């Protein structure tokens, strides 16, 4: 089945764009997005873009349409069913997350809507909660549009980097180059996540990681991750294959 789906994606542009739009839509849809591995799915599409099997700008456009549909349907679901949703047992079990989202929207609605699009657990919740709080559509629209314009390429990008790396000609140094690229991507992602926890320190309640990731360890891990990413990037940039990789990446991004 997976091989058949892969064949359909690579042979039919229309089917591919529908898949991209559907993934972005479901990832953004109220509560449904909590159940989907959206990050993995978007990165997989990014790998197809990087290998030249899918056009970057067409996939970007399909992703924007899917995001907007998912977010606005979620927003109007929240406005129309705010009473039943508050009483729903699933949301009662996740009351802490719901309360945090409501508080953040009350305090900083624009920033919360924009940042919430890039944070997995809150992405399918923020538009619905904004509707439940009767946030005016014009206040929801601007940060939502900005988020939907920027989210697809950000989530495609790790896959694009991997897809481009696949096309690098085999040589004695190609394996080292790919490992360095993998190290840069993983360490930047880890450093960004640690930076987010550091920035949110004192503003969030304790979780399971807090006992092990004390404030001192968090700072050290964050600095070490950024340092490791810079070292990997420096050595990757010194590789003879770097000009080839840049050329292939530019071809993908230039369309």
Cα first-last separation, the chain: 30
Helix (H, G, I), strand (E, B) or coil at 144: helix
Lowest-confidence region among 13-27, 126-140, 173-187, 202-216: 202-216
CA-wise closest residue to 203 among 103, 122, 136: 103
Share of residues in the chain with pLDDT > 70 (%): 82
Structure tokens at 172: 């004695």
Lowest-confidence region among 26-35, 51-60, 93-102, 193-202: 93-102
Residue 161 has pLDDT above 50, yes or no: yes
Residue 48 has pLDDT above 70, yes or no: yes
Lowest-confidence region among 8-17, 60-69, 72-81: 8-17
Long-range contacts of 15-22 (CB under 8 A, 24+ apart): 16/48, 16/54, 16/59, 17/58, 17/59, 17/61, 17/62, 18/62, 19/45, 20/45, 20/54, 20/59, 20/62, 20/63, 20/66, 20/152, 21/62, 21/63, 21/65, 21/66, 21/69, 22/66
Long-range contacts of 9-16 (CB under 8 A, 24+ apart): 9/48, 9/53, 9/54, 10/48, 10/53, 13/54, 13/55, 13/58, 16/48, 16/54, 16/59
The 10s digit of each residue's pLDDT in 94-144 is: 566 666 777 777 677 778 888 878 877 778 888 888 888 888 888 889 999
Q: Which pLDDT belongs to residue 135?
A: 84
Residue 234 has pLDDT above 90, yes or no: yes
Query: In the predicted model, what is the mean pLDDT of residues 7-21?
Result: 73
Q: Which pLDDT belongs to residue 2?
A: 44
Q: Which pLDDT belongs to residue 17?
A: 84
Q: Which pLDDT belongs to residue 1?
A: 41
Q: With cut-offs at 50, 70 and 90, classify the pLDDT of residue 9.
A: low
Structure tokens at 194: 């640690």
Q: Where are the domains of the chain?
A: 2-168, 174-239
Residue 228 has pLDDT above 90, yes or no: yes
């Amino acid at each position: 089945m997976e091989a058949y789906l892969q064949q359909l994606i690579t042979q039919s542009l229309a089917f591919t764009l529908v898949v991209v739009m559907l993934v972005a839509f479901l990832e953004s849809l109220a509560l449904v997005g909590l159940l989907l591995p959206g990050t993995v799915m978007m990165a997989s599409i990014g790998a197809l873009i990087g290998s030249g099997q899918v056009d970057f700008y067409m996939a970007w456009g399909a992703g924007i349409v899917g995001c907007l549909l998912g977010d606005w349907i979620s927003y109007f679901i929240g406005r129309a069913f705010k009473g039943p949703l508050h009483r729903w047992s699933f949301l009662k079990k996740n009351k802490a997350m719901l309360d945090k989202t409501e508080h953040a929207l009350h305090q900083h609605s624009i920033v919360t809507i924009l940042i919430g699009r890039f944070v997995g657990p809150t992405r399918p919740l923020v538009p619905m909660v904004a509707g439940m709080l009767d946030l005016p559509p014009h206040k929801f629209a601007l940060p939502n549009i900005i988020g939907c314009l920027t989210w697809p390429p950000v989530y495609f990008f790790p896959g694009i980097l991997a897809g481009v790396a696949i096309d690098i000609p085999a040589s004695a140094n190609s394996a080292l180059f790919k490992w360095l690229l993998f190290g840069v991507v993983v360490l930047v992602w880890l450093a960004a996540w640690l930076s987010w926890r550091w920035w949110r320190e004192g503003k969030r309640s304790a979780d399971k990681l807090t006992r092990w990731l004390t404030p001192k360890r968090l700072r050290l891990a964050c600095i070490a991750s950024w340092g490791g990413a810079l070292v990997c990037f420096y050595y990757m940039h010194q590789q003879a294959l770097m000009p080839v990789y840049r050329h292939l990446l530019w071809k993908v991004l230039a369309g």
